[in-house]
Amino acid sequence: MPGSEVSLGHTDGGPPEGTFRLHPLTPIALGGRVLGLLVAITLLGLAERGSSGGPRWPQVIVFGGLAVLVVVHGFITVAVTSYHLMGGELRIDNGLFQKQSKRIRLDRVQSVDVLEPLSARIFGLAEVKVTTAGSERAAVRLRYLALPEARSLRADLLGRSTGAGEGSPEAPERLLVTVPHGRLVGSVLLEMISWRLALLAIGPALAVVGQSNGHRATAGIGIAIFVWFAVLIVHAVWQRLNFLWEFTVTESPDGLRVRHGLLSTSRQTVPPGRIQAILIHQPMSWRPFGWVQVRMNVAGYGRRGSTKRATLIPVVDRDFAERLVGWVLGGVDLDEIPLTRPPRRAAVRAPLWWRAQEAGADDRVFVARHGLLSRTIDIVPHQRTQSLRIAAGPVQRVLGLASLHLDSTPGPVKTRAANRDAGEARSLLDRQVERGRAARRIAVPGGPVPAPQAT
C-alpha cells in the first residue's frame, strides 16, 4: 500500500501490531490552496516581462522559494511522524529535534470520520479524523492516507473501539435515507434566503430614492449594497449546498454512517450509544412542506461542530424524523411521552410562547417542545444527562416560576423545561436525578427494533 509500512504480529511485550506512515503526496495535498497560489504567482512571474525584457526574477525567486519551503516542510512532517496500533491504543510519534508521543485509548473514541478535501481528493487521498471523549481540539487527524487504506483503518479503529476486535473488515451497511437534490436545494433556499430578502431590498430602495431625487451617489451606493448582499447570499447558499450534497445516512454494526459533500466529501461514523442528545427543528418557512432537520450532540465534537458535523439529517419529513430519532434512542415513541405546559401565570413572562413550551419524560428520555413560529423538539436520554440545574430570573421569582435545564455535551441541543412552577421544577429535578441513576444502571443499548426507512 503506497505510503505505508505494516508489521503484524503481537507479543506480550506490547510492540505495535501495525505501524504506518502518511502518504508521500501528503505535502502537496496539505499545502492545498497556499501551494497552488504560490505556484500560480511563480508561473505568472515567469510569463510576465519586467523592465529588462526578461521574467520578473525577484518575484519568481521569492514565491518559488516559498513554494519549495512549503513542500520541504511537508516532507519533513511526513518523515518524522508515525502511527502505531497497539491493542486498544493508537500511538502517534512525531518531532524532529524534540520527540513527542501521544496515545489515544480506542474505547474512548466517539467517532471516526474519513474526510476528502478537494486538494486531497485530486490525488485519491483522504484524512482519518478520530474524535475522542475530550474535545474537538483533542481530535487526532491522520492527513493523508490513500482512500482504501483510510477506509480500512476506520473499520479497524471502530472494530477495536466497539469491542469487535482488531483487523475488523468494513461492516456492511443498510440505507436509511438519502436527501433528494430538489428537496435539499429548496430547503436551503427557503431557510437561508427568507430573512435575507429584507437586506437585499435595501439596495434597490436606495437606488430608486437616489435616482428619483437626482442623487447619483445615493443610487450608486444602493446598487453597491445590492451587489454586496447578493454575493453574500449566493456564497452562503453555495457553501451549504456544497457541504450537504448527496447527504446519505446508513446503519451498520459499527454505528450510524453519514456521507455528504460535492467537491470535498466526508464520511462520518458515530458508534452506537455515542449520541448524547438530539433535536428536531422545523423552521417557519418549512412548515407548509412538513420538513424538519435533525441535529445531535456527540461528545468530543464541541461547539464548532454544532452546525456541520452535528447534522444527522439536513431535511426530511417530520414523521420519518421522529421515527428515526426514536429508533436511534432505543425504540422510543415520542408521541407516547406525556407532556405538560407551564402554569397560566407564565403568560406574564412569555405572553406569546408559553403555550408552546411543553416538557415531559418517560423511563427512557426527557422531551421538551418549544417554539411558536419555528418549532423544536429536544430529546435527551436520561443516562446521557451531564448535569441538572434550576434557574430563575427576577421576573420568574416574583411569579413563583423557574426553569429546569438538562445539560448535555457541547452542541446544538440546549434542553430546558421553561417557566415551570417553582415547586414543579424542583420535583422535576429530583425525578430526573432518579431516572438518570436508574438508566445508567440498566444502560439499554440503542436500536432494538428495525430502523425505519424513508419513503
Peptide bond into 83 cis (omega under 30): no
Q: Which residue has the cell 491504543?
A: 89
Decide: helix, strand or coil at residue 430.
helix
Given a cut of 60, whether residue 197 has pLDDT beyond it is yes
Query: Which helix (H) or strand (E) is 16 found in, with range?
Result: none
* The predicted structure's pLDDT at residue 53: 56
Query: Which helix (H) or strand (E) is 121 found in, with range?
Result: helix 118-121
- Rounded CA gap, 74 and 399, in Å? 63
* The predicted structure's pLDDT at residue 9: 34
Phi, psi of 44 (to 5 degrees): -65, -40
**Residue 339 exposed, middle or buried by CB count within 10 Å (0-12, 13-18, 19+):** middle
Between residues 447 and 271, the one the model is more confident about: 271
C-alpha cell at 251: 446503519
Other beta carbons within 10 angstroms of residue 240's beta carbon come to 20
Among 285, 294, 296, 298, CA closest to 321: 294
Q: What is the mean pLDDT of residues 186-205?
A: 76
Tell me the pLDDT tens digit for each residue of 156-172: 888 888 776 676 777 78
Between residues 38 and 446, the one the model is more confident about: 38
Contact 25, 147 (CB under 8 A): no
Among 432, 452, 314, 306, CA closest to 380: 432
Buried b (16+ CB within 10 A) or exposed e, 19-36: bbbbbebbbbbbbeeebe
Rounded mean pLDDT of the chain?
83
Amino acid in position 307: T
Cα angle value 74/139/272 (rounded, 5°): 135
* The predicted structure's pLDDT at residue 8: 30
Tell me the pLDDT tens digit for each residue of 49-103: 655 556 677 777 887 888 888 888 888 888 888 888 887 888 888 888 888 888 8
Contact 244, 260 (CB under 8 A): yes
* The predicted structure's pLDDT at residue 11: 34
Q: Which residue has the cell 496539505?
A: 30
* The predicted structure's pLDDT at residue 218: 73
DSSP string, 144-185: EEEHHHHHHHHHHHHHHHHTS-TTPPPPP-EEEEE--HHHHH
Given a cut of 60, whether residue 14 has pLDDT beyond it is no
Query: Which helix (H) or strand (E) is 354 found in, with range?
Result: none
Q: Which residue has the cell 502511527?
A: 83
Q: Which residues contact 43 (CB under 8 A, 6 or more apart)?
A: none
Between residues 347 and 85, the one the model is more confident about: 347
Q: Calculate the alpha carbon distances from 198 to 205, 230, 252, 287 in Å.
A: 11, 12, 45, 20
Given a cut of 80, whether residue 141 has pLDDT beyond it is yes
Given a cut of 60, whether residue 7 has pLDDT beyond it is no
* The predicted structure's pLDDT at residue 75: 87
For the chain, the residue count is 455
* The predicted structure's pLDDT at residue 15: 46
Tell me the pLDDT tens digit for each residue of 103-116: 888 888 888 899 99
* The predicted structure's pLDDT at residue 315: 97
C-alpha cell at 286: 418549512
Q: Calculate the alpha carbon distances from 449 to 50, 329, 377, 452, 454 in Å.
A: 73, 10, 22, 9, 16
Q: What is the mean pLDDT of residues 250-254?
A: 88
C-alpha cell at 230: 447578493
Phi, psi of 82 (to 5 degrees): -140, 155
Q: What is the mean pLDDT of residues 440-448?
A: 59
DSSP string, 274-289: -EEEEEEEE-GGGGGG
Tell me the pLDDT tens digit for each residue of 264-309: 999 998 877 788 999 999 999 999 999 999 999 987 676 554 456 7
